[in-house]
Structure 1
Amino acid sequence: MTTELQEILDRHVANGTAPGIVVADGDAAGRLEIFSSGDLQPDAIVRIQSMTKPVLAVATLRLVQDGRLDLDAPVQQWMPELADRRVLRTPQSALDDVVPAEAPITVRHLLTNTSGYGMTTAPGPLQDAMVRNRTQAGQDPVELGAQDWLDALADLPLMFQPGAGWRYHHSFGILGILLGRIADRPLPDLLADEIFDPLGMTDTGHTVPRQNAHRLPAAYRHDGAGALVEMEPAGDGFYVAPAPFDLNHAELVSTASDYAAFARMLASGGRVGDRVIVQPALLEQMRTDRVPAHLKTPDSFFPGFWDSMGWGYGVAVQTAGPHQGRYGWSGGLGTDLYIDLDGSFRVILTQVEMGPEAMALFAELA
């Protein structure tokens, strides 16, 4: 398999899928092999984007198991900005065509993307408003600091009653801010104490220290004609410290070996050595589909997603097919994680905007 995996990476680099690819292949028993091809070095610090979501889920579950948080607690207890929510009467309603929220947003709603906030998948007044106030999600870094972003989001109505729909992404930005408020300290400090330091994830954080900026590669997108266009520079830009503003709502950078340590902890039943990071019962909730069938509507995410997938806490879960029970998640700049129930895992890193090319790479490495 070692030769076959390397050949896959080399072929995709040669064919222009990405300028470079790094893969960490390992298991709960301790095996770890790191493969690289092209100009992405094995120790590259990359923008993992939505692979931040499983990390935030684990941080949340650690607060739960320590008795500091209840999954069904209303978030307005710490976030008064989200009290007394208004809900669009229909998804295409004008922003003032609203009804009161029937229940508060809970922590569980955030973990399962059912808060009422999220990416708008169809044109309409709400989508226009999110573009205007800079809360619409995309591959570019966030444009607002955490408090300004939350205030802008709180000015908008919910797309649906909390728990009554599924929309991707924004719940986890809210969750990052929430965790910092519950801990009464910056989110980076909380993540370091609860996850990064115990797992030895020394290069994972919201920014790359200036002395390590040479390890941050450029990010690219495909232009539709076979060429790669640079989106973010190597060794500079938004992710190089110091942070431009409070990033509690933003996404992380990491390395293949760091994220493999996180994956191994999950594959090992939530443990690292003798230390329990996530209790087994909570880990089982995390990696089990938590989304009711009636919320898996075609308009809630990209076409076909729900055919064989579900969503747990911060991860997608395969609900059918040869890899049933596999869980993990991807990032918008061509990164991916999956963990199988036999304890094996794989971390795939590129820095190319998600599209057919990256998806084809992931499919070959599945």
Structure 2
Amino acid sequence: MPSEVVDPASVGFDPQRLAQVKTHFAKYVDDGRLPGFQVLVSRKGQVAYRESYGKRDIENDLPIEDDTVFRIYSMTKPITSVAAMMLYEEGAFELTDAVSDYIPAYADLKVLTGGSSLKPVTRPAATKMRISHLLNHTSGLTYGFHHVHTQDELYRQAGFEWGVPPGSTAEKIADAYAQLPLRFDPGTKWNYSVSTDVLGRLVEVVSGQTLAEFFQQRIFGPLGMKDSSFAVRGDLGDRLAALYIPNPADGTAVRNDAFGDAVRGEVTFFSGGGGLISTTEDYHRFTQMLLRGGELDGVRLLGNRTIRYMATNSLPGDQDLAQVGIPLDAETIYDGMGFGLGFSVLKDPVAYGTLSSKGEFGWGGAASTAFWVDPAEELTVVFMTQLLPSSYHPIRTQLKQLVYSALID
């Protein structure tokens, strides 16, 4: 059952202002830019607003409902990061440990210095890749779908753009990434990347379980996230929303089953960077655990000091993404934004240019999903839809200005 919704005024919201969230995003649905959306806003541990609008499947006229299942893609990353930090708290590794101590393929890394994708020029990496570099995307790895650098092209040539070759495993994929050159020496810059997929493999090595087993036994089961999974099981397939992409001609949402149905097949690669499907209610429970410092309903996954540490900017020299990040369409604005261990971390709301709070942390997914946790306001927000890519509409910043402007206490 979904969480009970309280009177928004009881937790500091103006109900009429908060209702503008639906009014605004309904326009995206009504003119065809989004198939539909679901949003949940919680404050002080109480759900102040839950709204569903539009379709999970336009062609079959199926509405978005409370139990609709969404591909959350990179919103998998914070869950993988929590898994890693649970093992860290058990003394399984140190954040300064070399990745090669656990995945030997990372012992002799190369950095790309020039040349072309056919004849790349490299040099030995000047620094070791450490576990902390995987958590905060300063590893030097990349994504093939970036299309901004020769390194990205090398990933595509190896079969890594929006996915991995059929039949891949986390072990094979992590080892394959190690054979490709880095963009920079680990720990020196930030580049959104497959780092969390490698981190997921590290969780497997250290725990002796597959990532799917670890998630289910250590996170999903204890938190009651009953509809979160790497694969379609039970009735999840019946509740799974269709995936859409924008029509280049007019921006309207066009169904893309070729990509969307990948999650319905056999899953052999448990992608810590983007493999999960989930529901708004499940992810809400995850955000509540984060807001409460690692505990929910008597179940503690992490210590509160660990959560605070993860939500602290860890970029070189305490800089923001605009200063040390590789320019690309990531899941956030760079100005004023730092990055911790698994989340973006807001350093300067003024530089960021959108209403929010210093210390707010969160992330988003490729299909335009998003979440954030704001400890200062005791606020969490989860937004679900299924439009790829996430950079096509300014959904996340618009959602923030609507939510924060509805706070009046």
Fold agreement, TM-score > 0.5: yes
Distance 1:94 1:291, change over 3 A: farther
- Indicate the residue corresponding to 2:247 in structure 1: 223
Deviation track 1:274-299 (CA, whole Å, cap 9, x = no partner) reads 33322122111211111122873463
- Indicate the residue corresponding to 1:195 in structure 2: 219
- Indicate the residue corresponding to 2:173 in structure 1: 149
Asked if the contact 1:217/1:233 (under 8 Å) is kept, the reply is no
Structure 1 residue 223 displacement after superposition? 1.6
- Indicate the residue corresponding to 1:133 in structure 2: 158
Structure 1 residue 354 displacement after superposition? 3.1
Q: Where do 5+ consecutive residues of structure 2 fail to align?
A: 1-14, 56-63, 350-354, 402-409
Out of 221, 243, 257, the residue aligned to residue 232 of structure 1 is 257
Out of 295, 315, 328, the residue aligned to residue 301 of structure 1 is 328
Aligned-partner SS, 1:237: helix
Q: How far apart are the structure 2 equivalents of 1:179 and 1:171?
A: 12
Q: Which AA in structure 1 matches 2:151? A: L
Out of 310, 325, 338, the residue aligned to residue 359 of structure 2 is 325
- Indicate the residue corresponding to 2:379 in structure 1: 344
- Indicate the residue corresponding to 1:207 in structure 2: 231
Distance 1:348 1:106, change over 3 A: same
Asked if the contact 2:38/2:280 (under 8 Å) is kept, the reply is yes
Asked if the contact 1:289/1:317 (under 8 Å) is kept, the reply is yes
Q: How far apart are the structure 2 equivalents of 1:20 and 1:316?
A: 26
- Indicate the residue corresponding to 1:38 in structure 2: 54
Deviation track 1:250-294 (CA, whole Å, cap 9, x = no partner) reads 521100000000001111122113333221221112111111228
Asked if the contact 1:91/1:160 (under 8 Å) is kept, the reply is no
Matched, 1:246 2:235: no
Q: Which AA in structure 1 matches 2:102? A: W
Q: How far apart are the structure 1 equivalents of 2:391 and 2:185?
A: 34
- Indicate the residue corresponding to 2:8 in structure 1: none
Q: How far apart are the structure 1 equivalents of 2:396 and 2:343?
A: 20
Asked if the contact 2:227/2:236 (under 8 Å) is kept, the reply is no
Q: How far apart are the structure 2 equivalents of 1:47 and 1:294?
A: 29
- Indicate the residue corresponding to 2:102 in structure 1: 78
- Indicate the residue corresponding to 1:113 in structure 2: 137
Asked if the contact 2:344/2:362 (under 8 Å) is kept, the reply is yes
- Indicate the residue corresponding to 1:334 in structure 2: 368
Q: How far apart are the structure 1 equivalents of 2:149 and 2:380?
A: 40
Out of 125, 128, 151, the residue aligned to residue 101 of structure 1 is 125
Distance 1:207 1:91, change over 3 A: farther
TM-score (ref. length: structure 2): 0.81
Asked if the contact 2:367/2:390 (under 8 Å) is kept, the reply is no
Aligned-partner SS, 1:97: strand
TM-score (ref. length: structure 1): 0.90
Deviation track 1:138-184 (CA, whole Å, cap 9, x = no partner) reads 3xx44351233223322211111111221112101111111111111
- Indicate the residue corresponding to 1:165 in structure 2: 189
* Identical amino acids, percent of aligned pairs: 27
Aligned-partner SS, 2:305: helix
Superposed, 1:19-58 pairs within 5 Å as: 19-31=35-47, 33-39=49-55, 40-58=64-82
Matched, 1:272 2:272: no
Aligned-partner SS, 2:183: coil
Asked if the contact 1:287/1:312 (under 8 Å) is kept, the reply is yes
Runs of 4+ residues deviating >6 angstroms: 91-94
Asked if the contact 2:117/2:154 (under 8 Å) is kept, the reply is no
Aligned-partner SS, 1:115: coil
Distance 1:356 1:15, change over 3 A: farther
Out of 313, 338, 354, the residue aligned to residue 389 of structure 2 is 354
Asked if the contact 2:117/2:153 (under 8 Å) is kept, the reply is no
Q: How far apart are the structure 2 equivalents of 1:114 and 1:123?
A: 17
Q: Which AA in structure 1 matches 2:300? A: V
The alignment yields a C-alpha RMSD, in angstroms, of: 2.6
Out of 267, 276, 286, the residue aligned to residue 310 of structure 2 is 286
Asked if the contact 1:290/1:312 (under 8 Å) is kept, the reply is yes
Q: How far apart are the structure 2 equivalents of 1:6 and 1:123?
A: 36
Q: Which moved more, 1:40-49 or 1:8-17?
A: 8-17
Q: Which AA in structure 2 matches 1:327? A: F
- Indicate the residue corresponding to 2:12 in structure 1: none
Structure 1 residue 338 displacement after superposition? 1.0
Deviation track 1:222-247 (CA, whole Å, cap 9, x = no partner) reads 1231322212379x82212532x232
